[in-house]
Amino acid sequence: MSVLSLRYARAFANVAAAAHLDADAAQTQLRDFARTLGESRPLREVLGNPSIPNPQKLKVIDGLAGLLGMKREVRNFVAVIMTHQRLEDLGEILDEYAVLADKQSGTAEAEITSAHPLDDGGRAELEAQVARLAGSRVRTTYLLDPSLLGGAVVRIGSTVYDGSLRAQLDEMKKTLTAAPVA
C-alpha cells in the first residue's frame, strides 16, 4: 500500500466522520463507483483523458453520482481523486479506508471456517459468540473446509480459535501417544 493511498483514505475518513456518514454506506458507494469505472472502458477513457476539461468530467461524475445514489461527500471525494489523477489508485484507497473505518467504528474482521454450510440461525448464534470474543462488532467472512469434519475455526485478526472436530481429534491423538504404556 502506498503512502498516498493512505493519505487519501485518511482524508476521506476525516470528511466522512465530520459529516456523520455511515462508513458502510460510504464504502458501498465508493465500491459501486470503482466497479462501474472498472467495467466501463469508455468511462475510464473520458475521466483519464487530459484533453477533456475537468468541468466536463465533473458532469460525468455528477451523472454517475445520481445513478449510484452517492452522498455529496462521496461524490466530492471521487472528484478530488479524479482531479489529482489518482483514479487508478481507487481500489487501494478503498482498502485503506476500510481499515480506518473499522478502527473508528470498533469493528473487527472475523473469518469463520466451518465443515458444512451454516443456516441463518447458526450464523447469527456464531456471530454473537464471535462478537463477545472480539469485544466489538464483527464483520464476518465464511469459508468451507470439509476436512474440519465438524465445528468451526474462527480467526479474529491474528488470533485463531479452533473448535473443529479435527483439532479435537488431533489433541486426543497427542494425549494418547504421549501416555505411558503400562
CATH classification of the domain holding 77: 1.10.520.20
If asked whether residues 139 and 98 sit together in one domain, one would say no
36 Cβ partners below 8 Å, 6+ apart?
43, 64, 68
If asked whether residues 130 and 88 sit together in one domain, one would say no
Rounded to two decimals, the pTM is 0.65
Q: pLDDT of 16-51, one tens digit each?
A: 989 999 888 999 999 999 999 999 999 999 999 999
Q: How far apart are CA 154 and CA 114, in angstroms?
A: 9
Q: How far apart are CA 102 and CA 18, in angstroms?
A: 16
If asked whether residues 13 and 92 sit together in one domain, one would say yes
Q: pLDDT of 62-91, one tens digit each?
A: 999 999 999 999 999 999 999 999 999 999
**Helix, coil or strand: residue 63:** helix
Report the candidate in 56, 67, 83, 70 with the shortest Cα–Cα distance to residue 26: 70
CA 3, distance to chain mean position in Å, is 19
Q: For residue 51, what are the domain limits?
A: 3-103
